[in-house]
Structure 1
Amino acid sequence: MTNKLDDVDLNQLRVLVTLLETRSVTRSALQLGISQPSVSRALEALRKTFGDPLLVKTNAGMTPTRRAEALREPLYHWLAATRGILRGRGGGAGDGTAGDVIAGHIRLASTDYGVLSVIEPALPDILAQAPELYVDICELSPENLNQLSSGAVDVVVSGWDSDPGRVHERHLFRDGLCCIFRAGHPLAAAGLDAPLSFDELLDWPHIMLSVHAVDIDPLAPHLRTSERPRRVAARLPYLVSALPLLQRTDAILVGPVRSLRRLSLGLQLATRPAPVELGAFDYWLYWHERSRRDPVVMWFVEVLARAVVR
């Protein structure tokens, strides 16, 4: 009797998980870091294994067959269990209680702001309770929510809204905006608690940050109706690169309150609230259905959520 498992390359099952989420050979190849022909060959082999087309081309893209939809849930279970084995965790429930082993590798996507306001407050607990857990933080990108399905990313920290129903989410906190500048800057003369006006913001050159070439620019909607232009002194991909520019010039930067106030401590920088018209935004944690069954990922989500409410 032939064992069908001998005929299957288990890596092909991961390809199928990604195809079911992206419904695209091109996007699946990008997420998995392999060529499009490799994805196509894997799909062809899986079709022979299951005796079913699995995904068929339509005007709306690739559509899963009923057989493929029936495989979705078992594949998520299999992927979560496999990742758990490779992490080498023990048999506990993974909630941090006695007997649990929280170890292995978590890949998280975040901006510098997310690291300062979410990861940094949680890191002491992570190191104390899970010294064998390795947290790999990668730069936030527009593709991260898609990457959750393939396992390229486990958790996303973001102020971006997700598509309803695509992923699991947890609200962390609502944050406002402030302006950061060097200590002794003329903007500090009016006191550090007084909100800035738009005119005050536009009096000074700005440092701007971008994420994957997408500007983090809370002023953009308001500048469309402003009679005054804004002078951008520099646009940078990393917050750490902006620090010496802020410390040595009169340039300013507008960003989230929690992270910039934390950053200003001990760095000869100061902050003032941004104009109230700029509003506020929400920070979220996102993870995929497959991770809901992974006790290490869910423990990690709980630790982050607890840390930000202290």
Structure 2
Amino acid sequence: MTTSLSERCTPCQCLAQHFATMLLRNLDLNFLKVFDALMDERSVTRAAERLAVTQPAVSATLNRLRDAMGDPLFVRTQRGMAPTPRALALSVPIKRILADIETVLRPAEFDPATVELTVTIAATDYALRAVVVPFVAALRPLAPHIRIAVVQVSGAAMLERMERGELDFALITPEMASADLHSRHLFRERYVCVMRAQHPAADTALTLESFCQLDHAIVSLQGGGFVGPTDTALAKLGLQRDVVVSVPSFGMLLDIVHSSDMVALVPERLLGGTTGLKVQTPPIEIAGFSKVLAWHPRSHGDPRQRWVREQLVLTCSQLD
């Protein structure tokens, strides 16, 4: 299901929409672009570089905006230009207006086989292996001129980069999806226990007792951790396993399992195309997780972005 920004305005939102509409009626489009650049960059110098104009031109436009709005809009501080409450209220409506204008001016149709486009995706180590790798393989025959850039970014930085147009999509969990973003459910993931095919325990069903007696390896995204959700679940039963290796990525984890008699619990989708491993159902229930695709409203109506989104969703559905 796609979630989006509410269509019902709060009093503050309606007031901001009124101000933005007034700006659009009384000022040319360049004024809105200068305001948006200043809001993103918080610097006259960087805003001028982004718009390919001079600093005096940006300063002059800002002064005219201040006169039109009867508000300073941006106040100089030691850390740059800080927006006033009036500017913050205007920021989202003006960004939407600019995005709508960009959508109107862009051709409504395109040919995936010839379109040239760079798509930037935020993905964890897991999402890179489970989603991006098969997505790139499926995309290349259809759109050979679309380039994919994968970055690791989360939290406030992710939303800021989307607002700046530096990030197109994020492969995240529902809990990480901001209310300011559109999102679409991709799949539900579950954990399985893996060991090398020649492991001494490969031909016997795992019990809680035998599971705890094995040597385990885990992923610690923060680094150095030897306790995870599995250990929490075991502790509730008064049990404990022996975790002997902690690594920062699932790729390293699978390499260790391949080359040793250690076992590991891994998300099932990571095993697509993997050979030489025995997969078993864990003898204890471990909560899985969901993945969603998130994107900013500024690119929601872009037909190229929409096509790429649909291809990514289709790739995930075909891997179920």
Q: Give me the TM-score of the superposition, normalised by structure 2.
A: 0.67
Match of 1:109 among 94, 109, 122: 122
* Amino acid corresponding to residue 176 of structure 2 in structure 1: S
* Amino acid corresponding to residue 72 of structure 1 in structure 2: V
In 1, the alpha carbon distance for the partners of 2:73 and 2:153 equals: 32
* Amino acid corresponding to residue 302 of structure 1 in structure 2: E
Residues 47-100 of structure 1 show CA distances to partners (whole Å, capped at 9, x for unaligned) of 6453134479xxxxx986345433423324536877999xxxx83435xxx588
- Conserved 8 A contact 1:55-1:65: no
Does residue 188 of structure 1 match 2:202?
A: yes
- Conserved 8 A contact 2:193-2:264: yes
Match of 1:230 in 2: 241
- CA 1:181/1:80 → structure 2, altered by over 3 Å: closer, same or farther? farther
Aligned length: 268
CA positional deviation for 1:161: 1.6
Match of 2:39 in 1: 16
* Amino acid corresponding to residue 238 of structure 1 in structure 2: S
In 2, the alpha carbon distance for the partners of 1:162 and 1:150 equals: 19
Residues 247-306 of structure 1 show CA distances to partners (whole Å, capped at 9, x for unaligned) of 2211122121122x215x23x222212345213321111111112133332221110111
Match of 2:140 in 1: 127
* Amino acid corresponding to residue 117 of structure 1 in structure 2: A
Match of 2:219 among 201, 209, 213: 209
SS at match of 1:308: helix
- Conserved 8 A contact 1:291-1:297: yes
More deviation, 207-216/285-294: 207-216
Within 5 Å, which residues of 2 pair with 1:21-36? Answer: none
- CA 1:80/1:206 → structure 2, altered by over 3 Å: closer, same or farther? farther
- CA 1:83/1:153 → structure 2, altered by over 3 Å: closer, same or farther? farther
Match of 2:230 among 201, 219, 232: 219
More deviation, 112-121/179-188: 112-121
Matched-pair identity in %: 21
In 2, the alpha carbon distance for the partners of 1:18 and 1:132 equals: 30
Match of 2:89 in 1: 69
Residues 182-223 of structure 1 show CA distances to partners (whole Å, capped at 9, x for unaligned) of 1121332126xxxx4444432222222233559794325314
Runs of 5+ unmatched residues, structure 1? 20-24, 30-42, 57-61
CA positional deviation for 1:127: 0.6
Within 5 Å, which residues of 2 pair with 1:31-70? Answer: 48=63, 50-51=65-66, 52-54=71-73, 65-70=85-90
Match of 1:254 among 249, 262, 265: 265
Pair member with larger Rg: 2
Runs of 5+ unmatched residues, structure 2? 1-26, 47-57, 76-81
- Conserved 8 A contact 2:223-2:246: no
Match of 1:294 in 2: 302
In 2, the alpha carbon distance for the partners of 1:213 and 1:149 equals: 30
Match of 1:273 in 2: 281
Match of 1:306 in 2: 314
- Conserved 8 A contact 2:39-2:91: no
SS at match of 2:187: strand
Does residue 244 of structure 1 match 2:268?
A: no
- CA 1:44/1:254 → structure 2, altered by over 3 Å: closer, same or farther? farther
- CA 1:309/1:214 → structure 2, altered by over 3 Å: closer, same or farther? farther
* Amino acid corresponding to residue 307 of structure 1 in structure 2: T
CA positional deviation for 1:181: 1.6
Match of 2:185 among 159, 171, 195: 171
In 2, the alpha carbon distance for the partners of 1:159 and 1:295 equals: 25
SS at match of 1:169: strand
